[in-house]
Amino acid sequence: MRPDLPLRLKNSGAALILVLWVLAFLTVIAAQFARTMRTEAGIAFNYREMARAHYSARAGVNMALQALLRSLRHPTAMQTRSEDPDPDAPDWRINMDIPITGPRQERIVTRIDNEGGKVNINLADQRLLRLAVSGLGLTEEEENTIVDSILDWRDSDNRPRPLGAEDDYYQALPVPHPCKNSDFDDISELLLVRGVTPEIYFAGLSERVTVHPTRDTARQALGMKPGTSQSADGFDFNRININAAAPELLMALPEFTAEMVEALVEYRLEQDLRADSDLVKLIGARAFLSVRPLITYHRSPYYTLSATAQMDQSGVRQGVAMTVRLDLQAKDQYHTVHWHPHTVVR
């Protein structure tokens, strides 16, 4: 036997251990690389699905807009259920969820809401503003505080109402800010108004109100004369559209019961109320006489179109919405006044 053999065996064992360590190290790197690739592939897949869902929702909004524009050319459209010969055609109706199946089998739920079913905090009078805050579990004093403060926020003077607030009140807050003394640009401004807490705002107030249109827009674009509450097309901003009001706002109407609201919502699934006689049949003469000064059958020229798309394979969900003003006389029959990207809707 050669005398250097034990040394050679020892060196070979060390080399083998080194090789095993290198292999183990490379295995860890490969596993980490594979894990990173899987993560990045998952991220890319989710991003692609989010993009698809987003643009599917945008497609749903555009389909709703086209249906709404068709209703301008055919006044009876969307007042009764569609008689389209295509059994798969969506049944376009105001104030209800409209399901659509997209080209990739994604589920799209669209909705057309007329802003006339909400209380316009720029134009509504004290009576209608009180309707907006009623039924939210507030005391009479709390309701009056919010109503007076909304009126003080939007008027041009600096004289507070009995329970309202002007600059003196807001400048004394821990985080001071001025009283706007002008129209609301966004409903979220209500969170700056005296008496409106986040709990009140998110518990239902935000769903009952709108800022479209402002006073200047109502006069310039809608032909509303100073000192009046009606636009040129007949919509009265001191009333709410009974066909478009949400059930929560309907419940706030005087003399209305849950059974009346349920009957009214069920009726609206098939057709709009078009005359006082239709409403009397549903709620009775007593309740009708109480709500008649607060309601209208005319639509506001402002609509909010929304859509949510959910991808079938991944379940990713995205929503968008936009508020538009319709004008039959204009070359472009609609004007987008607010775009709501990445909005999750009902």
pLDDT given at position 261 = 96
State the burial class of residue 240 (Cβ atoms within 10 Å of its Cβ: 0-12, 13-18, 19+): buried
Distances (CA, A) of 222 to 21, 116, 336, 346: 80, 14, 15, 30
pLDDT given at position 70 = 85
pLDDT given at position 2 = 54
Query: 227 pLDDT band (50/70/90 cuts)?
Result: confident
Model confidence at 87: pLDDT above 90 = no
Q: Which residues of 155-185 are buried (b: 16+ CB within 10 A; e: fewer)?
A: beeeebbebbbbeeebeeeeeeeebbeebbe
pLDDT given at position 85 = 45
- pLDDT tens for 207-221 read 999 999 999 999 988
What the block records as the tokens of 228 is 């009046």
C-alpha 133/C-alpha 145 separation (Å) is: 10
Query: 301 pLDDT band (50/70/90 cuts)?
Result: very high
Query: 165 pLDDT band (50/70/90 cuts)?
Result: very high
C-alpha 306/C-alpha 61 separation (Å) is: 6
What the block records as the tokens of 224 is 């509303």
pLDDT given at position 259 = 96
pLDDT given at position 343 = 58
pLDDT given at position 215 = 92
pLDDT given at position 346 = 46
Task: State the average pLDDT for the chain.
Answer: 88
Q: Is residue 84 within 8 Å of residue 207, measured between CB atoms?
A: no
Model confidence at 345: pLDDT above 50 = no
Q: Calculate mean pLDDT across residues 115-143.
A: 96
Q: Calculate mean pLDDT across residues 284-301.
A: 95
Model confidence at 86: pLDDT above 60 = no
Q: Calculate mean pLDDT across residues 45-74.
A: 87
The DSSP element (H or E) to which 114 belongs, if any, is: strand 107-114
State the burial class of residue 307 (Cβ atoms within 10 Å of its Cβ: 0-12, 13-18, 19+): buried
- Considering 58-72, 166-180, 301-315, 324-338, the range whose residues carry the highest mean pLDDT is 166-180
Q: Is residue 78 within 8 Å of residue 94, measured between CB atoms?
A: yes
Model confidence at 80: pLDDT above 90 = no
Query: 7 pLDDT band (50/70/90 cuts)?
Result: low
Nearest Cα to Cα of residue 244 among 136, 131, 111: 111
Model confidence at 245: pLDDT above 80 = yes
- pLDDT tens for 250-269 read 999 999 999 999 999 999 98
Model confidence at 148: pLDDT above 70 = yes
Better pLDDT: 58 or 11: 58
C-alpha 324/C-alpha 114 separation (Å) is: 10
pLDDT given at position 76 = 60
pLDDT given at position 3 = 54
C-alpha 161/C-alpha 159 separation (Å) is: 7
pLDDT given at position 12 = 65
pLDDT given at position 328 = 73
